[in-house]
């Protein structure tokens, strides 16, 4: 997958992990497909940081992406959005059924309190619990980047983050 104005995906050979038709990034090829685009506003069509998470319990693949501006400390506007599909190559739609190729995406994480511009999603498991990891810019640390996680739950086939962000408290920095 790649980012910018579009998220573009391809299937990999399960044995070699190489792109199926051997063509490196050929958008016109049969194995390359556009999966998502940005918000399509006048001056902002940026989308990046794609992550696909298969969930065998729901039967869906979830595409997490970022919109907005990254890497600007407390001025970052990054947000994490998600869509789902029964096929890892899409189409991915949000909760309202809007395709992520026409600006769809259900907002999952955004700036809240000390967590500014969350981005670059990943999911990991410990026992029966799932966690959603991401980076953010910490208001308490003068906008320096940090990493956090929140427990991930599934409600009606959609990811839902627990309220509490798990991050190091400020007094644990030294």
SS3 at position 39: coil
What are the start-end ranges of the E strands in 13-111?
32-37, 47-55, 60-67, 79-85, 106-109
The pLDDT tens digits of the residues spanning 57-113 come to 999 999 999 998 888 899 999 999 999 999 999 999 999 999 999 989 999 999 999
Whether 125 shows a pLDDT value over 90: the answer reads yes
* Residue scoring higher pLDDT (110 or 11): 110
Whether 121 shows a pLDDT value over 90: the answer reads yes
- Do the bridges between strand 47-55 and strand 106-109 make them parallel or antiparallel, or are there none, so unpaired? unpaired
Whether 32 shows a pLDDT value over 80: the answer reads yes
Tell me the domains of the chain and their CATH numbers: 6-172 (2.115.10.20)
């Amino acid at each position: 997958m790649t980012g910018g104005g579009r998220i573009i995906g391809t299937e990999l050979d399960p044995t070699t992990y190489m792109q199926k038709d051997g063509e490196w990034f050929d958008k016109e090829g049969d194995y390359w497909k556009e999966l998502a685009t940005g918000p399509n506003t006048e001056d902002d069509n940026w989308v990046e940081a794609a992550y696909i998470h298969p969930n065998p319990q729901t039967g869906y693949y979830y595409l997490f992406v970022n919109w907005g501006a990254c890497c600007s400390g407390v001025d970052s506007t990054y947000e994490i959005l998600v869509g789902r599909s029964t096929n890892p190559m899409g189409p991915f739609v949000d909760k309202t059924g809007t395709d992520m190729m026409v600006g769809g995406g259900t907002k999952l994480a955004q700036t809240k309190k000390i967590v500014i511009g969350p981005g670059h999603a990943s999911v990991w498991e410990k026992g029966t619990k799932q966690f959603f990891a991401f980076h953010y810019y910490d208001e308490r640390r003068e906008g320096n980047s940090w990493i956090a996680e929140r427990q991930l739950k599934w409600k009606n086939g959609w990811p839902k983050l627990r309220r509490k962000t798990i991050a190091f408290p400020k007094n644990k920095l030294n």
